[in-house]
Amino acid sequence: MNGKGPMPADHEMDRTIGNILRAGVMTAAGIVLAGGLIYLFRHGLTPVHYALFQRVPMDLCTVGGILGSAFSFHGRGLIQLGLLVLIATPVARVLFSMVAFARQRDVMYTLVTATVLIVLAHSLLSQ
Amino acid sequence: MNVLIFTMLVWLGSLAAGFLGSLTGLGGGVVIIPLLTLVFGVDIRYAIGASLVSVIATSSGAAAAYVKEGFSNIRIGMFLEIATVVGALAGAFLALRLSTPVIAVIFGLVLIHAAYVSSRPRLETSGVEKPDKLATVLKMHGTYPTSRGLKAYNVSSVPFGFALMFIAGILSGLLGIGSGAVKVLAMDQAMRLPFKVSTATSNFMIGVTAAASAGIYLHKGYIDPGLTMPVMLGVLLGASLGARHLFEAETQKLRVVFSVVIFLLALQMIYSGFMGWRIQ
C-alpha cells in the first residue's frame, strides 16, 4: 500500500458495495410493493387522512411491532418491513466497508467507518 | 379522495420528482415535500418522513450504478459521512422541537438556495491544483473515467468541506431531504472535485445520512406506510431512469427550468409557513 491512487482492492470494494446497495433496494422495493398491493386491495376505497397529523400506531414504529404485523401479512406492516430493509441497506454498506478496510489493514479508514457505524446504531437502536 | 386515487397520483408525482432530482443531482426530496404539502395537503411531518425514506432509496439505487462505474470516491464519502450523520441526528432532534410553520419557512429558504445553486453553470475546476496535505494523509486523491481514459484529480480544503457537510447533515435530518445542493457545493467549490465525482459521491453519502435520522423518525411515528409506499416506489423508479440518462443528457437547460420550479415552490412554502404562524 503506497497510498498513491485507488488500489485494486478499492475497485473490488466498489463492486461489492454496488451489489449490496442494489440488492437491499430491490428487496425493500419488492416487500413494499407486495405490502402496498395488499393495503390497496383492503383499504383502496377508504378516504385519506394525511392533513391531520396523528402519530403512526406504535406497533408500526418499532422493529418488534413491525415484524409481528408483517408476519400476519398486514399490508401496512409489510410496507414498514420493506422500509426497515431500506434503512438497513446503507448501514450494511458501512458495515461491509469497515470490514473491508480492516482487511486492507487501513487503520485510519477502519476507525472512520466504525465512527459512522456507531452513530447509525445509536439512532436506530435508541428508545 | 380515496386511498387508491391518492396513491396513484402521489406515485406519478414522485416518479417525476425522482427523475428530475437524479438528473440534476439535487435529489427527489426538494420537490417531494412541497408536492405533498402544497398539492396534496399532507401534514409536513408525514411528508418529511416519506421523503427521508425515499431519499435513501434514490441515493442507494443511483449510487449502486455510480460506484460500479468508478465515479464515486468512497474514501471521501466515508470520511465526510462522519460530519453528515452527526449533523443528521442534530437535525432530527431539532425537527421534533420546532413548530411546523417554522420548519416550512426554513424549508423554503433552503429550497431557494438549492434553486440558486442549480441555476448557475457548474464550472469544472479542471487542472490539478496544489493538493491539500490532509487530503493526502487521508488518501482522498483519485481517478475517474472520462472518454479519454482515467483522469487523476486532487482534493483541496478538507476542513471547510467537512464543516459544510455537517450543515448538510443538519438540513437533511431537519427537513427530510438529501441536501444534495449543499453536498455538491462542498465538493465542487470547496474540495474542487470534478463534478461527476462530486455528484456520484454525494449520492453515495445521502443514504447513510438519511438512515441516521430515519431511525428517529420511525420511532416518533412520522413514517406512515400508506403514504411512504407510493412516494418511495415512484422516486426509486424515477431516479433509476434519471441515472441512466445522466451521461447523455444536456443537463444545463434542465437545471435552469428545474430551479425556476423549485424557486416558485419555495415562495409558496414560505408563504404557507407564515400563514400557519398566524393561525397558531
Pairs across A and B, CB distance < 8 A:
207
Q: CA torsion B73→B75→B76→B77, rounded to 10°?
A: 80
On whether any CB of chain A is under 8 Å from the CB of B63, the answer is yes
The reply to whether A101 falls in a domain is yes
- The model's pLDDT over B229-241, given as tens digits with 9 standing for 90+, comes to 999 999 989 888 8
Count of domains observed in chain B: 1
- The model's pLDDT over B136-166, given as tens digits with 9 standing for 90+, comes to 878 888 888 877 788 888 887 888 989 999 9
Among residues of chain A, what percentage have pLDDT more than 90? 53
- Residue B248: its pLDDT value, please? 61
Count of domains observed in chain A: 1
- The model's pLDDT over A51-65, given as tens digits with 9 standing for 90+, comes to 888 888 888 888 888
On whether any CB of chain B is under 8 Å from the CB of A42, the answer is no
Domain that holds residue B21: 3-279
C-alpha cell at A117: 457505524
- Contact state of A123 with B213 under an 8 Å Cβ cutoff: yes
Q: How much is the ipTM here? A: 0.88
3-state secondary structure of A24: helix
- Choose the closest CB to B225 out of A11, A76, A109: A76
Q: What is the DSSP letter of A46?
A: S
Cα separation, B188 vs B162, in Å, equals: 13
- Choose the closest CB to B229 out of A79, A113, A116: A79
pLDDT in tens, chain A (127 residues): 444 444 556 677 788 888 899 999 999 999 999 999 999 999 888 888 888 888 888 888 888 888 888 888 899 999 999 999 999 999 999 999 999 999 989 999 999 999 999 999 988 887 5
The reply to whether A109 falls in a domain is yes
On whether any CB of chain B is under 8 Å from the CB of A76, the answer is yes
- The model's pLDDT over B56-89, given as tens digits with 9 standing for 90+, comes to 988 887 777 777 778 888 889 999 999 999 999 9
The reply to whether A2 falls in a domain is no
- The model's pLDDT over B20-40, given as tens digits with 9 standing for 90+, comes to 877 776 667 778 888 898 889
